[in-house]
Amino acid sequence: MISRYTRPEMGRIWSDENRFQQWLEVELSTAEVLAERGEVPADAARLLRQHASFTVERIQAIEKEVRHDVIAFTTCVAESMKAKGHGEASRWLHYGLTSNDVVDTAQALLLKQSAELILRGIDRLAEVLRRRAFEFKDTLAIGRTHGVHAEPITFGLKLALWYDEARRARQRVEAAAEDLRFGKLSGAVGNLAHLAPEAEQAICERLGLKVSPIASQVISRDRHAAFISALALACALCEKIALEVRHLQRTEVREAEEPFAEGAQKGSSAMPHKRNPVVSEQICGLARVVRSNLQAAFENIALWHERDISHSSVERVILPDSCILTDYLLDRTTWLVEGMRVFPERMQRNLELTRGLVFSGQLLLDLTAAGMLREDAYRLVQTEAMKAWREEGDFRAAIESHPDVRKFLTPEQIQHAFAPERQLRHVDAIFARVFGAHSKAG
């Protein structure tokens, strides 16, 4: 992934330096476990741990000649041992392993490290969503369906809904990451021809991994596809939030907007007045990239026989890129929500824009409850609503003076039908369901 979207900590995880370091840790842990089992000289394992090293530049230079990255790596490490006078110990490096025993197991370590960062990112986003949900719990706004005014809500309900989705996103990523915390050192076709099952188990435990119950030359790629799917869903939440901000920032709406650096930030090279939701649009765009990686992850599941390498080149792109982008999008979305400017007065103005039309549903129920046939009540309310819509009239005034309505409802009952607090009387109950023991603002 390009540096523009790479945050430092996640970038370090997917650096060549760290990738080869994890390879080395798999190699050293294998030597140590085999030494404990008496299959490798104890001195050799000790010397490898003390002196084995590499440089990325040397590995890359060797790979240009041998055209095999793992052989280039083991050659480089062996060279480092010889240079320090311990060349004899280097013959026990990579003992009993095939290349993908190292690559797949080390990749599990990289994904474990990445998942920990991503989970922290989701937690930060969820906390900001929780805080701002309580800030606007009772802030009146108009709910929209199909982009059209529907019924009153509070702005806090939007944020509480996003919080609820963030909680599920965390559960998915956590479960998928745990399902990826598997190593394999079972050899070229997965039959443990050169290592005992107990050795494989011990090596994985030493690395903080579980052992894959069965593998071919590679760990089954459904695990990786499930992880990318969990990341894509987390990014879809980021997109959902950003898309809503984009809508609310439109000139005709102006109920909220993303942060804008007054006096420094420029919205347009040609139009000085512009305040464009550029970060929100960036979030929406990059979420598509993570989603597209999911298709490639699914394609990687089916491989020839016990393995081909059609998935390998794909994973060099989609695994780091998906982790890097998810980390970036969570950070940008947290920034967006935390600094989002909200305009309650504009929300109130938009709520009143249609002069009572958004209370048509409550009026329908009240007329029905008062004794009017539902079909008649619907026809009456819709007729007046469409007239007000067409002529930009005052729906509430028309209802208050309508003789058929007054036959069934008193002026006080009509006023009650147009009371937004009536429709929002259960907001506290919804917050209690979402936030549980944390359903208080503090």
Is 146 among the catalytic positions? yes
DSSP 245: H
Six token digits for residue 250: 């439109």
- Please indicate, yes or no, if residue 78 is contained in any of the structural domains: yes
Looking at the structure, tell me whether residues 39 and 80 fall in a common domain: yes
Task: Kindly name the residue from 3, 146, 269, 305 that is annotated as catalytic.
Answer: 146
- Tell me the C-alpha distance between 402 and 396, whole Å: 10
Domain assignment of residue 69, given as a range: 8-92
Torsion angle, CA of 304/305/308/314, rounded to 10 degrees? 60
The domain total for the chain is 3
Alpha helices in 136-258 (DSSP H): 155-179, 197-206, 222-248
DSSP 98-155: -HHHHHHHHHHHHHHHHHHHHHHHHHHHHHHHHHHHHHTTT-EEEEEETTEEEEEEEH
CB-based contacts of 285, cutoff 8 Å, min separation 6: none
pLDDT in tens, the chain (442 residues): 689 999 999 999 999 999 999 999 999 999 999 999 999 999 999 999 999 999 999 999 999 999 999 999 999 999 999 999 999 999 999 999 999 999 999 999 999 999 999 999 999 999 999 999 999 999 999 999 999 999 999 999 999 999 999 999 999 999 999 999 999 999 999 999 999 999 999 999 999 999 999 999 999 999 999 999 999 999 999 999 999 999 999 999 999 999 876 655 555 444 455 578 899 999 999 999 999 999 999 999 999 999 999 999 999 999 999 999 999 999 999 999 999 999 999 999 999 999 989 999 999 999 999 999 999 999 999 999 999 989 988 999 999 999 999 999 999 999 999 999 998 999 999 999 999 966 565 5
Looking at the structure, tell me whether residues 24 and 171 fall in a common domain: no
Q: What is the CATH number of the domain that holds 226?
A: 1.20.200.10
- Please indicate, yes or no, if residue 202 is contained in any of the structural domains: no
Looking at the structure, tell me whether residues 129 and 171 fall in a common domain: yes
Q: Which helix (H) or strand (E) holds 49?
A: helix 42-51
- Tell me the C-alpha distance between 255 and 342, whole Å: 6
Query: 441: how many CB neighbours lie within 10 A of its CB?
Result: 13
Task: Kindly name the residue from 68, 268, 292, 401 that is annotated as catalytic.
Answer: 268
- Tell me the pTM: 0.93
Is 401 among the catalytic positions? no
Looking at the structure, tell me whether residues 124 and 162 fall in a common domain: yes
Six token digits for residue 30: 């294998």
Alpha helices in 180-303 (DSSP H): 197-206, 222-248, 278-299
- Tell me the C-alpha distance between 216 and 194, whole Å: 14
Query: 213: how many CB neighbours lie within 10 A of its CB?
Result: 7
